[in-house]
Amino acid sequence: KAGVTQTPRYLIKTRGQQVTLSCSPISGHRSVSWYQQTPGQGLQFLFEYFSETQRNKGNFPGRFSGRQFSNSRSEMNVSTLELGDSALYLCASSLSPREQYFGPGTRLTVT
Amino acid sequence: QKEVEQNSGPLSVPEGAIASLNCTYSDRGSQSFFWYRQYSGKSPELIMFIYSNGDKEDGRFTAQLNKASQYVSLLIRDSQPSDSATYLCAAPRRDSWGKLQFGAGTQVVVTP
């Protein structure tokens, strides 16, 4: 079974731009969660989608948004990028509360 | 106080020895925990899920959960240099199992 895939793997953007990241969960998994990982803050929860509905949201500004499609693929968008948004963005998919499998991540650098 | 706390390390372990990692949590209602391994520059890899008090073994890994004392630990037996990584403890939030609260992670260095 294929794992979680994320595209693109690396991205360089300029302050003020916006970016869209994509995540394809493991086949059959309907829950997709997004996390931001930085050296200073560690892994922080962004949001979770289940069957196209946002089930939970972390403490991030409104510039961070996401959505999930009917095939469970998910996208997250960050508008008006700031230098502090440079991070590894990870998505995780799960079928049950006993698992969360992470994708390889998207490394975003904001200059 | 952070909800999930780990000693950041590094924890230096001789090859072949047992590495012991601890994680404490503040939410007494937390029912289950994950342990992940993360190599530098890579994404977290699921090692273990535990929800019952006591021990759970999987290969060289043993997770221990003590809900009364609010800690969960991970033992790595016969440590190998390939076990050198950061180990993350995470607890699902009670209001949403898809939302994990992570500790800062413990860096383990296995020395030959």
From chain B, pick out residues whose CB is under 8 angstroms from the CB of A56: 93, 95-96, 98-99
Residue B1 confidence (pLDDT) above 70: no
Q: Do B102 and A43 touch (CB under 8 A)?
A: yes
Task: Select the residue of B43, B97, B100 nearest A105 (Cβ to Cβ).
Answer: B43
Query: B3: distance to nearest CA of chain A, Å?
Result: 12
- CA of A26: how far to CAs of A32, A46, A57, B17, in Å? 10, 19, 22, 36
From chain A, pick out residues whose CB is under 8 angstroms from the CB of B88: 43
Contact by Cβ (8 Å): A43, A100: no
| Structure confidence by residue, pLDDT tens digits, A75-86 | 999 999 999 999
Query: B107: distance to nearest CA of chain A, Å?
Result: 13
Query: B110: distance to nearest CA of chain A, Å?
Result: 22
A36 by Cβ neighbours in 10 Å (0-12 / 13-18 / 19+) ranks as buried
From chain B, pick out residues whose CB is under 8 angstroms from the CB of A45: 99-101
B99 by Cβ neighbours in 10 Å (0-12 / 13-18 / 19+) ranks as buried
Q: Do A94 and B98 touch (CB under 8 A)?
A: yes
Q: Where are the beta strands (DSSP E) in chain B?
A: 4-6, 11-14, 19-25, 33-38, 45-50, 54-58, 61-66, 71-76, 85-93, 96-102, 106-111
In sequence order, what are the beta bridge partners of B73?
B22, B64
pLDDT over 70 percentage in chain A: 99
B72 confidence band (pLDDT: 50, 70, 90): very high
| Structure confidence by residue, pLDDT tens digits, B44-57 | 999 999 998 899 99
Whole-angstrom Cα distance, residue B53 to residue B90?
Answer: 16
| Structure confidence by residue, pLDDT tens digits, A12-64 | 999 999 999 999 999 999 999 999 999 989 999 999 999 999 999 999 999 99
B31 confidence band (pLDDT: 50, 70, 90): confident
Task: Select the residue of A97, A104, A105 nearest B32 (Cβ to Cβ).
Answer: A97
Residue A40 forms contact with B (CB below 8 Å): no
Residue B83: strand, helix, or coil: helix
